[in-house]
């Protein structure tokens, strides 16, 4: 299953908090090791997949990966 | 609130100045606070203030006649915006806060007066503007000579999966690195490909709706 949450590399995170400040869904919080996304069993809070956190991160620590698929398997 | 001298020292405009000069510069700075969404600079309006971001994030963007927004730069703490127009004329772009932000501003007339008093600032201004010209040339190169959408299309075709998560997933950052462009250009290309009807974006899935059209955009000859 494709992750429904942004992916965070805490090694790269410098805890600047810019991603938290711009996140419209409010899923990002600062933890002891850096930013983390709030997980829940049925998480759909990151509703837009807007990529803005990835865009503003100065260290490339947070990414919003996506998968490429064919519509209905059509060629 | 007084502006910290070390903050000013770290700004490219004022590097190399001694403490007395920095203290003189600091007297002209003022602080401005913004909340998310505040427009700080309007395209077409006279440029009166040079801003430095102290905290938060600011986007510099242009808006098309039909309301589409293209982000040109994301300004993070330590960076400045409104450089070129404040030394020239009117704003060519708009700027808005992407988060709560704290800015340090200096008025155009004060920057000009300081440049006359401290020639080192004038030299620094030349260096900053030279950097801005270089960035603009790179953007023009991307827009004019590189078919970024075509190369993004090719990358997408090379990474088709089933949606089950077994394929390597892509980020805009990775695509930008793969094709040698800025992340902002990848986002722009996604929108172009959507407008062409070749793909649609469903949250974290990019659905290829017309593979033949995508292949054509990618320059793949049948």
Q: Kindly provide the ipTM of the predicted complex, given to two decimals.
A: 0.76
CA separation for the pair B27, B32 (Å, rounded): 15
Q: Do A56 and B162 touch (CB under 8 A)?
A: no
* Cβ B157 vs Cβ B218: under 8 Å: yes
Q: What is the band of A75 on the pLDDT scale with cuts at 50, 70, 90?
A: very low
Interface test with A, best of B197, B204, B208, B220 (most A CBs within 10 A): B204
Is B161's CB within 8 Å of A4's CB?
no
Cβ distance A67 to B211 less than 8 Å, yes or no, reads no
pLDDT in tens, B146-157: 688 998 998 899
Question: Could you list the residue range(s) of the whole structural domain that residue A48 is in?
Answer: 1-56
Tens of pLDDT, residues B66-101 = 776 777 788 988 899 988 888 877 888 899 998 889
Whether A31 is covered by a domain: the verdict is yes
Note whether residue A23 is domain-resident: yes
Distance between CA atoms of residues B187 and B201, nearest Å: 11
B65 touches chain A (CB under 8 A): no
Strands B160-161 and A67-70 come out as parallel
Specify whether the CB–CB gap between A62 and A46 falls below 8 A.
Answer: no
Q: Do A54 and B172 touch (CB under 8 A)?
A: yes
**pLDDT of A40 higher than 60:** no
Within 8 A of B163 by CB-CB distance, chain A residues are 2, 67, 69
Q: For chain A, give the percent of residues with pLDDT over 90.
A: 28
Each residue's pLDDT tens digit, B9-60: 889 999 999 999 999 999 999 999 999 889 999 998 988 899 999 999 999 9
Any idea what the CATH number is for the domain that residue A1 is in? Answer: 3.30.70
Question: In the prediction, which pLDDT does B126 show?
Answer: 92
Give the pLDDT band (50/70/90) at residue A42: low
Res. A1: pLDDT tops 70 = no
Q: Hey, is the C-beta of B183 within 8 angstroms of any chain A C-beta?
A: yes
Summarize pLDDT for A50-70 with one digit per residue, the tens.
888 988 999 989 988 888 999
Domain assignments of chain B as residue spans, ordered by start: 5-140, 146-217
Q: Evaluate whether A57 touches A48 at the Cβ level (below 8 Å).
A: no
- A54/B162 CB distance under 8 A: no
**CATH number for domain B5-140, candidates 3.40.50.150, 2.30.110.10, 3.40.50.2300, 2.60.120.10:** 2.60.120.10
What residue of A is the nearest CA neighbor of B171? A65
Share of chain A above pLDDT 70, in %: 83
Best residue in A66, A72, A74, A75 to probe B by mutation, most B CBs within 10 Å?
A66
Give the model confidence (pLDDT) of B157-186 as tens digits: 988 876 665 556 788 888 887 887 888 888
Mutation site, A55, A72, A73, interface B, largest B CB count within 10 A? A55
In the sheet that holds B80-81, the strands lie side by side as B30-34, B101-107, B49-55, B80-81
What pLDDT, on a 0 to 100 scale, did the predictor assign at position B13? 92
Q: Which burial class, exposed, middle or buried, applies to B144 when counting CB atoms under 10 A from its CB (0-12, 13-18, 19+)?
A: exposed
By the 10 Å C-beta count (0-12 exposed, 13-18 middle, 19+ buried), A32 is classed as exposed
Whether B17 and B3 have beta carbons less than 8 Å apart is answered as: no
| Inter-chain residue contact B171 with A54, CB threshold 8 Å | yes
**Which of A25, A49, A67 has the highest number of chain B CBs within 10 A, making it the mutation to test binding with B?**
A67
CATH fold of the domain at B146-217: Arc Repressor Mutant, subunit A (1.10.10)
Closest by Cβ to A21, choosing from B57, B165, B173: B57
Asked if residue A16 belongs to a domain, the reply is yes
What residues of chain B lie within 8 A of the CB of A58, using their CB? 76
Confidence of residue A13 (pLDDT cuts 50, 70, 90): very high
Which residues lie closer than 8 Å to B208 by C-beta, 6 or more apart? Answer: A68, A69, A70, A71, B156, B157, B160, B198, B199, B214
The pLDDT of A21-44, averaged and rounded, is: 80
Task: Provide the number of structural domains found in chain A.
Answer: 1
For residue B167, the chain A residues in CB contact (below 8 A) are: 67-68
pLDDT of residue A37: 85
Closest by alpha carbon to B99, among B67, B83, B77? B77
Does the residue A72 lie in any domain? Answer: no
């Amino acid at each position: 299953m494709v992750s429904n949450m942004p992916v965070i590399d805490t090694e790269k995170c410098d805890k600047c908090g810019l991603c938290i400040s711009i996140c419209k869904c409010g899923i990002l919080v600062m933890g002891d090791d850096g930013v983390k996304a709030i997980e829940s069993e049925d998480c759909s809070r990151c509703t837009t997949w807007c990529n803005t956190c990835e865009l503003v991160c100065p260290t490339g620590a947070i990414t919003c990966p996506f998968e490429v698929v064919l519509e209905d398997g059509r060629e | 609130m007084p502006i910290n001298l070390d903050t000013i020292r770290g700004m490219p405009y004022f590097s190399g100045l001694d403490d007395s000069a920095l203290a003189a510069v600091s007297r002209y700075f003022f602080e401005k606070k913004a909340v998310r969404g505040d427009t700080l600079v309007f395209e077409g309006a006279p440029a009166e203030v040079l801003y430095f971001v102290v905290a938060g994030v600011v986007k510099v963007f242009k808006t098309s006649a039909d309301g589409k927004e293209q982000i040109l730069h994301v300004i993070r703490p330590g960076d400045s915006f409104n450089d070129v127009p404040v030394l020239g004329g009117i704003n060519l772009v708009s700027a808005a806060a992407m988060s709560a932000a704290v800015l340090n501003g200096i008025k155009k007339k004060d920057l000009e007066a300081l440049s006359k008093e401290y020639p080192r600032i004038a030299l620094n201004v030349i260096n900053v503007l030279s950097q801005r010209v270089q960035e603009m040339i790179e953007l023009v190169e991307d827009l004019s000579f590189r078919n970024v959408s075509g190369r993004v299309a090719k990358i997408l075709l090379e990474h088709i999966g089933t949606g089950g998560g077994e394929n390597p997933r892509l980020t805009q950052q990775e695509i930008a690195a793969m094709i040698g462009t800025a992340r902002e250009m990848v986002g722009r290309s996604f929108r172009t490909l959507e407008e062409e009807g070749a793909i649609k974006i469903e949250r974290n899935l990019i659905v290829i709706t017309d593979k033949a059209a995508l292949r054509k955009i990618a320059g793949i000859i049948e």
